[in-house]
Structure formats: C-alpha cells, structure tokens
Structure 1
C-alpha cells in the first residue's frame, strides 16, 4: 500500500449483533434523565454490557425496585422506538403518593441500576399492513404511541398517522415539541392536541375541552378508514371507545392498551364472574394466609389467588392479570399452586418458590409472603 492509498475504514463498534438477555444480566443502568413536563420525566436505560434491545413499538417492560426495604414491581411502556436499539426509555408521570414514581423522580439518577425483564406485550402495530392510523392518547398514555411514531419517523415509513393527544393544560402535553418537530419534517405525521384549560403562563388557542365526536370529525374526517390505537386513563379509553362505537366505527380495527394499574381489567372481572357462577357445594376450598397483612381468606378450587384476595378486600399490585407482566410476583412459603403464566416469571424464581398470583390457582392451603 503506497502513501496515497487511504487506510481501510474500521468500524469503531463490533459488527456482530448482541441481544440483551436478562437471564445473563438482569440489571440496566440509567444513562440519562430528561424533564418532559413539570411532573413527567424520561429515564434512558442501557445494559451494563455491550448489548442491544430487541422489541416492537408499544411493548412494555417490568422493573423491580428496592424502595424503603420493600421490593416493588412496576410495568412501564417503552417510549423509545426499536430503531434505537442501544437504549430503552421509559417516561414516568409523578403520581401523588405513588412510591415508585416519586422515588424515580427524586432519587433515580444516571449511573444507578434497576432490574428489568425482557420487553413484552401485544399492544403494537408491528406486522400490520395498514397505511392509515389514528393514535388517540390521554396523559401518560402517550408513551406507546410515541414509540410507534418515533419508529415511523426514524425509518421514514409511508404511514399516514393522525395523532390526537388530550392533556389537562398545554403545560401537561408530553413530547409536545418533538411531535411538532416530527410533524414539520414529515407530512405523514399529523399531531393535534386537545387541552381542557389554559396553563398558568400560556393561553391555549387550540381545541379545548374533552375528546368527543365533534372534535374527532373536525381533526380527522376520514377516521372511519383508519386503524385506531388508544391508550390513557381507563375513563378516557372508555369514552373514546364509546364515541367510536356510537359513530359506527368498525371495532375490529380498534386496539386499546389493556393494562389498568388500579383495578381489574374488564376481562378479569368477567373471569371472576364466570368462576363464581361455576362454584358448587362440592368444590374444595383452600385457606390462603397472607403473612404481611395477617389475613387468611378462603379460595374455592378453580379461582386464582389474585381473585380470592381481591374479593376479600386485600389489595395486591397487578397490571395485566394474564401472567405476563410480573407485577403480582410473590413468594409462596408453604403450599402448592397450578400456575399457567405467559412469561412474566423466570424459572429460577419459580425454583425459589415464587409465583404470579394472577394466574396461580391453589392446589393446597397456602402461606404467601405478602
């Protein structure tokens, strides 16, 4: 090689693809914390070792936090797109009295670590062939739609996205600047915001009030031709669903996030009703002892531990009610269960006596460390 021949380019990063595996390294390290609004922050996370994430837009991860000597699991949707594989981001709103959200906002800093599971969930447009979408979100329910929109922007997808986001005031609009920027740079992305009232230092001149059919028809006249994704507080999602149903929308093209962090989903409530109807006097009844609360409740055969606890007034953290998220993970110190989970628990945790209460039916009397 003579003096005029340039050296071959050498990539500064490995050319092989290394997927993050929580079984090998269950900890993620915080790389950055970003303020989105006065009470919403984004936390950027990465593996400790050089690995990349594999997920689809709209999925969530379950995190395990050690706060005040207590282990708490929480699910958070990934707000970053899969086109940015080296990190994942979660965007968290501070909830008054919320132990995890307040700890994250006040204590969780770059360099600190947190346990996490692989991304999971089915609320995604991945694999769909439609070209026209309508995203409708309220409050922090914007995160899965943001992941999809960021993905469309990064990959220059020819996907017509009408994005309607509802917030209390303009100061509460999460990702406002970024959505406006993407809309200016890509005419396929069309964000519209609805605010209930003015902010202390900003008068809102856009759509005011709450989401309704009249606003929908003005913002997105061709909504009947689109595939709709909805996420937000339960009352908001119910209102949107009712609006679309009353308008004659084809609900086979309607998708909403099924997680409800405060109460059972409609599906879980139906399962409880069906199981209750099936109970007869011949069904065996097990005793469930909850050591931390000092309560003992009865659980008929065929009913999950979670259902029995809730019916007895014992509050157990839950999100999916499907054995998927891991939020209700608990240690069974005595007794056996029949557990049919969907990936929300590791085998080594099962070997240590842990179980997901939402999908575990007792096969004997139980003692539960909760």
Structure 2
C-alpha cells in the first residue's frame, strides 16, 4: 500500500514591517496572568505585518474609557526576536483608570490604537559582554525584553539579573526567568523579597538591595554595564549605591521616566515648577474646557508647565514631546510645537498638540 506524501506547510512570504501611519490598530491575541495584580497583553497587527524595535523601547496606546480618550505609555516586554507579536505587561494601580480597565474589561479580540515603538533605554549597539540588570516591581519589563532577546539569540553575554519585589507572589516572570537561567547558564536571575507571601516563606535574599547584597550576588559588578529600571526612589537608591561604591557611571543606564507609575500615580500630584522665568514679552490666556479653568501662559513657557503651575493636573510622562501622553485637542488658537515624534502629522492637521512641547502664539482653548 502506497503511503500518501506528507503535506508540506507553505513558507510564509510577503511579510512587511508594521507601519502605524498605514494602520495603527492592533488586535489583542492573548491575555496572561503574571501575578495577582499583573497581566501581560499580547498584540498583533490586523494585517500580515511584523514589528521592528529594540529591547527597552515603549509604545503609546490610545484608550477610550468612559467617553474620554486617554493616552498611556507602556514598555514592550516581548523581545524583537519575536516580531509577529508585541506585548506589554501592566500592573494594576489602585485608582488608575487605565490599568484597572485593562485588568477588568480588556479581552482577547479587542483592539487598540498605538504609536510606533520609541525610546532610548536599550542595550542596542552595546559592545560590552557583561551586564547587570537591576529592576524593581514593574520596572522589570525592559530588562525582560533584553533577557528574552539574549536567550532567543543564544548571545554570548554574561547577564546578572537582580529583581526586587515585595513578596514571592509579586515576582513578575519568576518561572520564565528561572527556566532561562536553567537552560542558559550565562543568564543568572536573583530575586530579593522584602517579606514572605501568604503561601510561601521566602528562602532567598530578604529586605532591600544594599551594597552588601550586591557584593555577594555580583562581586564583579564594577566591570559590567548596569541597567536599572523601577520606581523613582528605587532607581535613586541604586544610583547612589553604585556610585558610592566607585562604579564608573559612564556605564550606568537607567530609564529616565517610569510610565506605569508616573502616569497612573504621579499625575495625582501637582508638580512644583523649578524653572526661573524672566519677564515675558507676552502673556496669553489658555482655557481648559473640561475643568472650566483659564490660566495665564507666558510665550516662553509650555502650556503643560503653565497648567501645572496653576494646579491643573494634565497627564504627562516624558515632557520631551516623545511619548504622546499629554496629547490634547486644541479648539482654537495658535501655538509653536517642537516635538520628538510623539504625534503624527495627521493628528497635527486635525488640531491636536503635545502640551509638553507647545508654547502659545495666541490665546488658546484646549479640550482638557
């Protein structure tokens, strides 16, 4: 009896780079629980496209929640070595409108708009072969993208990965990191917990990361490149610790702003202005329609800073015209905007602006 010839799967052809200028809508393919308050959301383009980015970059997503458009930035937690999908990992923040909506309402098959990957916090282009990654809480995401990339490509790189968490139950990606470490001995994850969890007594390093623990975990840290991400106080403590230990700070890199914590928590705080303003030539009136407030904005001050000085809380992250979090509709008036890629030309043509890098040229009415 003749055996049937085996069917050969066709070789995929026709893949192109995903271009948000052509189609900025992504479909959620899966939602995964990482911990009790952290979920990963995996996205793919609607059409046959692949993503191009470098480990450590972020994307700005557009959410329609309660009739309001909200922009939020999230670091990409998946590696560029898996270009068919892209993932973000989100921690639920008490009172956070976006993180709670994602955790409670967002499901597979739903769609979101987003921008092209951006950001400069990455090891791309590094020639170093020895690294130390230090992360706290949800700051693990860019480090995870880098580590996954190293694992996928079997890079000849020595990676010490230290992650700090409250309890064992709060360690994000614990099983995957342990798996990568077991299969590739050049990846060495170490976890530090402040306390036990309900169902697990922590046997490893306890408390907070200090120089004594660092010397025990990674005695040769002074010869490595260090990448740090986490809450601002955590990064400050690590920076001061390694600097005080004589580390060469030209090989120290940290995320300059933490999207998950800043946009959800710190937006509830009024940022104190520190810039000294000289007497301006002109002062314009800026009306915010949703708050019913009108503030004065000198011509040499950004609209975002003028709003903050007046106590108006406008969501923002980078303050560099990069992330798009402060994107707003300008109903009337003219302004001078020098952005860094956080807004598309078609959005500008539709009357939108980034308040962090926009200075008034006339009185303004802003839908915010």
1:263 CA displacement = 4.6
Residue in 1 aligned with 2:353?
355
Q: Deviations over 1:12-62 (max 9, x none)?
A: 411x43011111111100000001000100001000101000000000000
**CA offsets 1:110-141 (integer angstroms, 9 cap, x no match):** 11101111100000000111001100000000
**SS in structure 2 at match of 1:100:** helix
Q: Residue 328 of structure 1 aligns with which residue?
A: 326
| Aligned residue in 1 for 2:304 | 306
Tell whether the 8 Å contact from 2:15 to 2:48 is kept in structure 1 after alignment: no
Deviation at 1:203, TM superposition (A): 0.2
C-alpha separation in 1, matches of 2:302 and 2:266: 16
Tell me the distance in 1 between the aligned counterparts of 2:349 and 2:298: 25
Given the two structures, how large is their TM-score scaled by the length of structure 2? 0.94
Q: Does 1:175 align with 2:147?
A: no
After TM superposition, the structure 1 = structure 2 runs for residues 1-370 of structure 1, keeping only pairs within 5 Å, are: 11-14=10-13, 16-260=14-258, 261=262, 262-263=265-266, 273-274=274-275, 276-277=276-277, 279-280=278-279, 282-370=280-368
In structure 2, relative to structure 1, the CA distance for the partners of 1:123 and 1:357 (3 Å cut) is same
Q: Secondary structure of 2:185's match?
A: coil
What is the Cα deviation at residue 334 of structure 1? Answer: 1.1
Count the aligned residue pairs. Answer: 358
What is the distance in 2 between the residues matched to 1:241 and 1:212? 11
CA RMSD, aligned part only?
A: 1.8
Q: Spell out, residue by residue over 1:205-254, the C-alpha distance to the aligned partner (whole angstroms, 9 max, x if none).
A: 10000111111111110010011111001111111111111111111111
Distance 2:6 2:183 in 1: 37
SS at match of 1:118: coil
- CA separation in 1, counterparts of 2:247 and 2:312? 39
Give SS of 1:101's match: helix
1:325-365 per-residue CA deviation (whole Å, 9 max, x = no partner) reads 10000011111111010110010100011000001111111
Structure 1: 5+ residue stretches without partners: none
Following the alignment from structure 2 to structure 1, what is the Cα–Cα distance between the partners of residues 121 and 227?
Answer: 8
The alpha-carbon deviation at position 83 of structure 1 amounts to 0.2
Aligned pair in 2 of structure 1 residues 178, 7: CA closer, same or farther (>3 Å)?
A: closer
1:302 to partner: Cα distance: 1.1
Q: 1:307/1:263 Cα in 2 relative to 1: closer, same or farther (>3 Å)?
A: farther
